[in-house]
Amino acid sequence: MFFHTFMKNLIMKPKKVPESYLEIDQKLIQIGGKVRQLRKAKYANYEDFAKANNINKVTLNRIERGESVSTKLFLSVLQKLEITSLEEFFRGL
């Protein structure tokens, strides 16, 4: 009986989602815009930046458009942009 009640409560409890996917997508677009702004300060063309830093240009373009990429790739791009503080990067977003 205990197991049945436990499972029923587990299954029936609605999961709390802190933000809608739309809000998350908007944040990714803001993050991508900031990456683009920082990249343009070094290279006007994303393809040149990608080539000079051994980054796949499609991956860089996806980040700048706010599309989902792996955390590892995202952090690699930030490193190439000489971002040393994640806190500083995300401030104001």
Q: Please report whether residue 51 resides in a domain.
A: yes
Query: Which of 11-15, 35-39, 82-86 is most confident?
Result: 35-39
Tell me the Ramachandran region of residue 66: left when phi exceeds 0, alpha when psi lies from -120 to 50, beta otherwise. Answer: left
Q: Please report whether residue 15 resides in a domain.
A: no
Domain range for 41: 28-93
User: Is a pLDDT exceeding 50 seen at residue 6?
Assistant: no
What are the φ and ψ backbone dihedral angles of 88, each rounded to 5 degrees?
A: -65, -40
What is the value of pTM for the model shown? 0.75
Mean pLDDT of 46-73: 95
Structure tokens at 8: 């029923």
* Total domains, the chain: 1
- Tens of pLDDT along 8-31? 555 555 556 556 788 889 999 999
**Residue 35: which of 61, 16, 11, 55 has the closest Cα?**
61
User: Is a pLDDT exceeding 50 seen at residue 3?
Assistant: no
Residue 37's domain is classified under what CATH number?
1.10.260.40
pLDDT at 21: 82
Q: Please report whether residue 7 resides in a domain.
A: no
pLDDT at 12: 54
Q: Please report whether residue 6 resides in a domain.
A: no
User: Is a pLDDT exceeding 60 seen at residue 77?
Assistant: yes
Structure tokens at 54: 């051994």
Q: Please report whether residue 48 resides in a domain.
A: yes
